[in-house]
A and B are shown apart, each in its own frame.
Chain A
Amino acid sequence: MESLTNRKKVVSDKPMTLWEKAYLPAIISGMMTTMRHMFRKRKTIKYPEETREFAPVYRGQHVLKRDEQGRENCTACGLCAVACPAEAITMTSAERERGQEQLYREEKYAATYEINMLRCIFCGLCEEACPKEAIFLTDRLVPTFFERDNFIYGKDKLVETLDERIDITNRQHTGKRSQI
């Protein structure tokens, strides 16, 4: 068979020569290898001070987006909850009252919206399912806690605030609406 790479090596079990039996040359060549490694550039990233760059498609903590005028995009259609394979998303919907047009874009909105971060597998299917470009995964990390309750993220943690918009322009599923 024609070999696929040029690194093919034929294995043989012929008896060792005296030079090989002495072992010392092999040991010295091994020690030279480790000596060379001693002066190589270190591969370590010192984490709290330096952070590794995230890929543009990194799937971290979710965000519920607002539109250009600061209204919540989510209409509580429930498609994300249906798409979620881990069943991590729950929500209750409510009708928009008169005078709330500045808060919610459509007539229906999510009164509560909860993601259980312990169940979530960060697959990104909610992001794909969303017809209103409301939910996106970001490159933020979900912090750890000692109590399970802290992992259920409500709207207070998920919806972006007006003065602190989350930039998602680099993401794969960016719609034209979400560009701020």
Chain B
Amino acid sequence: MDTALLIEKSILVLLLFLVSLGAAAYMTYFERKLAAWIQDRVGPDRAGPFGILQPIADGVKMFLKEDFIPAKADKWLFIIGPGIAMFTALITSAVVPWGPKLHLFGRDIALQVADINIGILYVFGVLSVGVYGIMIGGWASNNKYSLYGAIRASSQMISYELAMGVSAITIVLLSGSLSLNDIVTQQSGVWNVFYQPVAFFIFFVCSLAELNRAPFDLPECESELVGGYHTEYSSMKLGLYLFAEYTSMFVSSAIMAILFFGGYHFPGMSHFSGNTLAILGIAALAIKIFIFIFVIMWIRWTIPRFRFDQLMHLGWKTLLPLSLINLLITGLVIAFKNGWF
């Protein structure tokens, strides 16, 4: 194997790891600030100027808390649970194309860890495995609230994965490829969201549900289940669960930007080339991700939580039929364009 390629990929993996963790840390800060602004408050402002060091203070606090394992908990599964949650949240970003090719040291560096030809399926695969972190942790706690949280999480994720997958298939129909890289390059002209607004809407709502974010945060709703699946967790294990949520929020914002908003493409892209283009592309993707994160947080602090039967109704009786009809229409239009009738 090419040694330079190995080094290049290792650096990229390390960078991605750091960036997604750092982004997750500062998303907690941003979330608290945004919540405060929406509620006419100031938010954290004591640690450093404008409270900019708040995530570090929170991290230190998490590490210094007592690490507690309930007496009747299944010890190994209790420890593995948050690990799985964090692991799956981090490895999703492997297939995300972060920008156009970069030229450094006489090499073309692709800003994507693995350009596998089934990228979008990989994302779905990892997402579907992510639920194990919550389920195992919730069950191993030996607490009825945790179990309720775990059961809600799993049934919710299974129901919303379907509509999400079907709306993603429409994108695959448009681009004719499962590779995220191809999907991005295919959007250099018009972004997919203009062809598929309904699919985007369904995908967005479903990813809110997959992320366990409000208004679909039933697995951890405080008013009913104390802390949901992480009721019994403390210290950095709890920190890992919370961190995993923010990391997957970051990655799914990136996925949404790539599938529907042209990834690193931006208007007036043809005026640039080389490394300038690469850096501007990364910046464009970062801005799109930021906007998605902002909207997700904005929704959280606006819309009250769904009831569980309403959640299931929405998933199975509204979003799934809607996405199937959308898929059918898309398929017909593509077949018509190819002259099959």
Contacts and interface: CB of A to CB of B under 8 A. Distances in A.
State the 9 A-B residue pairs at the shortest beta-carbon distance, nearest first: A44-B42, A34-B302, A38-B37, A34-B38, A31-B302, A43-B40, A30-B302, A42-B42, A37-B38
Contact of B298 (A35, A41, A46): A35
B41 interface: yes
B299 interface: yes
A40 interface: yes
A35 B38 CA distance: 7
Nearest to A28: B302
A31 B37 contact: no
Main secondary structure of the interface of A (DSSP, over half): helix
Main secondary structure of the interface of B (DSSP, over half): loop
Nearest to A42: B42
Contacts, number: 32
Contacts of A31: 298-299, 302-303
B3 interface: no
B30 to A, nearest CB: 13
Nearest to A33: B302
Contacts of B301: 34
Interface in A10-47: 27, 30-31, 33-35, 37-38, 40-44, 46
B338 interface: no
Given A31-B298, A37-B38, A37-B39, 12 more contacts: A27-B302, A27-B303, A31-B299, A31-B303, A34-B38, A34-B298, A37-B40, A40-B40, A41-B40, A42-B40, A43-B41, A46-B42
A31 B302 CA distance: 6
A110 to B, nearest CB: 44
Contacts of B42: 42, 44, 46
29 contacts: A27-B302, A27-B303, A30-B302, A30-B303, A31-B298, A31-B299, A31-B302, A31-B303, A33-B302, A34-B38, A34-B298, A34-B301, A34-B302, A35-B298, A37-B37, A37-B38, A37-B39, A37-B40, A38-B34, A38-B38, A41-B40, A42-B41, A42-B42, A43-B40, A43-B41, A44-B41, A44-B42, A46-B42, A46-B45
Interface of A: 27, 30-31, 33-35, 37-38, 40-44, 46
Nearest to B295: A31
A14 B40 CA distance: 35
Contacts of A35: 298
Interface in B22-61: 34, 37-42, 45
B102 to A, nearest CB: 36
A35 B39 CA distance: 10
Contacts of B34: 38
Nearest to A40: B40
A37 B40 CA distance: 6
Contacts of A42: 40-42
A141 B42 CA distance: 25
A56 to B, nearest CB: 28
Nearest to B201: A24
Nearest to B41: A44
Nearest to A36: B38
Interface in B226-256: none
A34 B303 CA distance: 10
Contacts of A30: 302-303
Contacts of B40: 37, 40-43
A37 B37 CA distance: 7
Contacts of B303: 27, 30-31
A44 B45 CA distance: 12
A37 B302 CA distance: 11
A13 B41 CA distance: 36
A170 B40 CA distance: 33
Interface core residue of B37, B41, B45, B299 (most chain A CB under 10 Å): B37
A30 B214 CA distance: 14
Contacts of B45: 46
A137 B40 CA distance: 34
A151 to B, nearest CB: 28
Interface string B281-313: 000000000000000001101110000000000
A44 B41 CA distance: 6
A2 to B, nearest CB: 35
A13 to B, nearest CB: 18
Contacts of B299: 31
Contacts of B302: 27, 30-31, 33-34
